[in-house]
Amino acid sequence: MKTVVVGQGYVGLPVAMRAVEVGHDVVGVDLDVARVELLQSGTSYVDDISSETLTAALAGGSYVATMDYADVAGFDVAVITVPTPLRDSLPDLSFIEMSAASLAPLVRAGSTVVLESTTYPGTTEELLVPILEQGSGLEAGTDFFVGYSPERIDPGNKTWGFVETPKVVSGINDDSLVAVQGFYDQLVETTVPVSGTKEAELTKLLENTFRHVNIALVNELAIFAHQLGVDVWESIEAASSKPFGFMKFTPGPGVGGHCLPVDPSYLSWQVRQKLGQSFRFVELANDVNDHMPDHVVQRVVAMLNDESKAVRGSKLLLVGLAYKPGTGDVREAPSKRIIELLQSMGAEVSAVDGHVEDHRWPATVGKIEDLTPVVADTSDLIVVLTHHPELSLRVLEETPTPVFDSRNILRRPGVVQL
């Protein structure tokens, strides 16, 4: 079986490698020449895929990385795993459109095309199908099959990898569902069929909107609990003792990454576009989460003020820039807005984060290689934003420098919690 995976990022490459593992001939397509060159050289840039796995796939002749759709000809199944970002706060489906237009002429009778990218309900049937039909001259659902299966890749998750995570599958009609489910049944342990592609598209948006809204809830709770003099962290921990009907979320300096700050807005955009109504939960969650960096800065200013220090000229040390622990990904990370605000007030900002590579490091922020006692003691204030697993807390436990802890990892006098 010849499988094509369009988009070789943190979602597409694991799909491609799994297809290789189950015996498919796989073509990985990406429009980023640097990525294709790295893949062709056997160098993986995706945390969950080792270069050894990639090299073995290349050596075995069952994987090719390319920018050239000529290599795609004769495919049986094509999986589209391209980004669906926001552009000026609006959904940007251009990568799906370009991929579909490139695939369409190569669709044959009996082919299957599956979309995995996160998008609003209706995209598969209203955007993808017409492009494929127009470019192939064939009829979707009859001559070839089309479906939607949301990605659930959680980078770095050692428990729930691609194979172990149940995969929701759908088709534009029954024959398409059979084709799509048949494909994924070869790759993953469990497939979860739903009646239509719109239900599958909504499933993914529900999963991430659920998180986004609940994170916003505890963020707003944290703001009010602080003003009320109540320890919200202790209450969240206590609520977590409830063995049913509760799911723990924790406050933070904001919501980063390529999923949560983006996906729910696809839902609220569609509701506004198609129904002329506002999806208030999403818009409120966006507002609360987007303003957490401003709240962190307000708390930092108050702590400096308690020390009779102005922000201007203060040496501030940020611990953690990435959007969550264990990754060097700084996309939409709260640290970006926090840095902007602090530097606009004249603070001298440096940071320590061993996960963030140089090419992703903010140009105006001093890079601290190692969190030593001297570094901590010579700062005017320390702000904990992300708690990477390997971060040694000893220096933070022992320094006399005040610490603003947005992740509740320290409990001692002189440390102020979010």
Residues recognised as catalytic: 259
Work out the burial of residue 297: count CB atoms within 10 Å of its CB; fewer than 13 is exposed, 13-18 middle, 19 or more buried. Answer: buried
As measured in angstroms, the least distance from the Cβ of 227 to ligand SAJ is 19
Q: Does 165 contact ligand SAJ by CB under 6 A?
A: no
Query: Is 48 one of the binding residues for ligand SAJ (CB under 6 A)?
Result: no
Choices 102-110, 148-156, 269-277, 341-349 (CB under 6 A): range interacting with ligand SAJ: 148-156
H-helix or E-strand spanning residue 351: strand 348-352
Identify each DSSP E strand in 155-292 by its residue range: 167-171, 191-193
**Cα distance from N-terminal residue to C-terminal residue, the chain:** 53
The nearest distance, CB 318 to ligand SAJ, in angstroms, is 14
Q: What CA–CA distance (Å, rounded) separates 65 from 63? A: 7
Let me know: does 200 contact 94? Beta carbons within 8 Å.
Answer: no
Report, in Å, the least distance between residue 207 CB and ligand SAJ: 5
Binds ligand SAJ by CB under 6 A, chosen from 18, 24, 299, 324:
324
* Residue 148 or 249 having the CB closest to ligand SAJ: 249
CB of 205: closest distance to ligand SAJ in angstroms?
A: 10
Site string for ligand SAJ, 51-70 (x = CB under 6 A): --------------------
Rounded Cα distance between 136 and 140, Å, is 10
Each residue 284-323 as x (binds ligand SAJ by CB under 6 A) or -, in order, gives ---------------------------------------x
* Element at 394 (helix H, strand E): helix 394-398
Angle between helices 263-270 and 280-290 (to 10 degrees): 140
CB proximity list for 387: less than 8 A, separation 6 or greater:
319, 320, 325, 407, 409
Binding footprint of ligand SAJ, residue count (CB under 6 A): 18
Residue 396 Cβ, how far from ligand SAJ at the closest point, in Å? 18
Instruction: In whole angstroms, give the CA distance from residue 324 to residue 304.
Output: 26
- Interface map 231-260 toward ligand SAJ (x if CB under 6 A): ------------------xx-x--xxx-xx
Please give the distance of CA 123 from its chain centroid, rounded to a whole number. 20
Query: Of the two residues 222 and 381, which places its CB atom closer to ligand SAJ in the complex?
Result: 222
Nearer to ligand SAJ, 98 or 206 (CB): 206
Binding track, positions 188-217, relative to ligand SAJ; x by CB under 6 A: -------------------xx--x---x--
* 153 contributes a contact to ligand SAJ by CB under 6 A: yes
Q: Beta 403-405 vs 145-148: how paired, if at all?
A: unpaired
Kindly give, in sequence order, each residue whose CB lies less than 8 Å from that of residue 150, ignoring residues fewer than 6 positions away: 116, 118, 168, 200, 201, 203, 204, 207
Closest distance of CB 157 from ligand SAJ, Å? 6
Which parts of this chain interact with ligand SAJ (CB under 6 A)? 151-154, 207-208, 211, 215, 249-250, 252, 255-257, 259-260, 323-324
